[in-house]
Amino acid sequence: MPIRDLTDGDDLRLNEVFADADTPAAHMARSLFRPSSDSPLLRSVIAEVVPEVPVGAAAIAESPLHPYRAWVNVEVASEEQGHGQGRELFEAACAETVGTALEGLDLRARVQAGSPGEGFAKALGFTPLTTTRVIKVAAGALPPSGGGRAEDLEIVATGSVKLTKAFLAWYTAVNKDDAVGPLTIGQVNNAFLSEAAGAHGAALLNGDAGAAEDAGLSAFAVSYAREADQSGVEITDAMPAPGDDEEAPTELIIGSMFETREEAADTSSDLFRAAIADAELLLARLSVDADVVLEVTSGMPVVAALADRLLELGQATELYRYETLTGPPADAR
């Protein structure tokens, strides 16, 4: 099968042969199908049956926030699947990484749970790394709580140094399975808390569930403007892309500082239960007047436990479930 470097205009041709992306993660992964470049570092290839009639593409790209693995995405037109083109494209993209900083890195792919893409990745030898759920809480679904704790709640600017330091500690802790690289306060702010990232508002909640070094901070929340352009945000970032609804729900990140503690895996302690209550308090207050969407990963024990309970009680609905899988380095193929 003829395979060549992906060039300008090929993304539009691919859009004509691929079905519409049916999840935000698929849409963002497809954005990797652009010409190879050195900054950001990306290698991409495309397969054609005849010139200008593509059947699939593959790309491998650096992951600045999680630099120990590289993103990989492979997609083949539905009518051509099952004939080996995907594996050929994958191997061709791997070959293109030789001699670059991508060579030798483990690979990472995010796919919809239970999809053919998950089966394809596992057939290539990829194994599960993390599970991500995107859940929606309807406006007013949670009863207002914590009425006597107004003094514990602080509304802050998204550029707050306290918030940024807390976000860095939390983000590092909940991504132990896909380690974060060395990050500065400025990098964290630019990636998650800046106007360019769509950060719109933030709140801090004091309580007993945080680590001692957090000076009483138990949880934080960051909301993202519905109209935000997130095209520059890395697809690992915990920010679900807006859906196609006429009025998209508010996107929210809730971080529990309990998740930074060494005993975060202990789900039987009073502090763990207090951490869940604090996260719920923030969610309840921020979803009074607007639908809210949050992304929950398997590395977030507190928020995951809260999500489980809300789903069980019918106070939330699951919109998407993704599996992030990891495979050996491209040069090990």
Residues 6+ apart with CB under 8 A from 47: 1, 2, 3, 54, 55, 56, 57, 76, 85, 88, 89
Over residues 202-211, the mean pLDDT reads 86
Is pLDDT larger for residue 210 or for residue 300?
Answer: 300
Q: What is the pTM of this model?
A: 0.89
- List all residues 6 or more positions away from 69 whose beta carbon is below 8 Å from its beta carbon: 63, 105, 106, 107, 108, 178, 326
* CA 254 to chain CA centroid, nearest Å: 14
Buried b or exposed e, range 225-245, using 16+ CB within 10 angstroms: beebebeebbbbbbbbbbeee
Q: What tens digit of pLDDT does each residue of 160-205 get?
A: 999 999 999 999 999 999 999 999 999 999 999 999 999 999 999 9
**Range(s) for CATH 3.40.630.30 in the chain?**
3-129+324-329
How many Å apart are CA 196 and CA 200, to the nearest integer? 10
Instruction: Report the run of H or E that residue 203 belongs to, with start and end.
Output: strand 199-206
Class of domain 139-227+243-314: alpha beta
pLDDT (0 to 100) of residue 212: 59
- C-alpha distance across the termini of the chain, in Å: 19
Per the structure block, which two tokens stand in for 90?
Answer: 């994958």
Q: For a pLDDT cut of 70, what percent of the chain falls above it? A: 89
Selected from 3.40.50.970, 3.40.190.100, 3.40.630.30, 3.30.310.50, the CATH number assigned to the domain covering 3-129+324-329 reads 3.40.630.30
8 Å CB contact between 177 and 186: no
Q: What mean pLDDT is predicted for residues 308-324?
A: 97
309 CB-near residues (< 8 Å, 6+ apart): 276
Interval 107-159: pLDDT, tens: 999 999 999 999 999 999 999 999 999 999 999 999 876 556 778 899 999 99
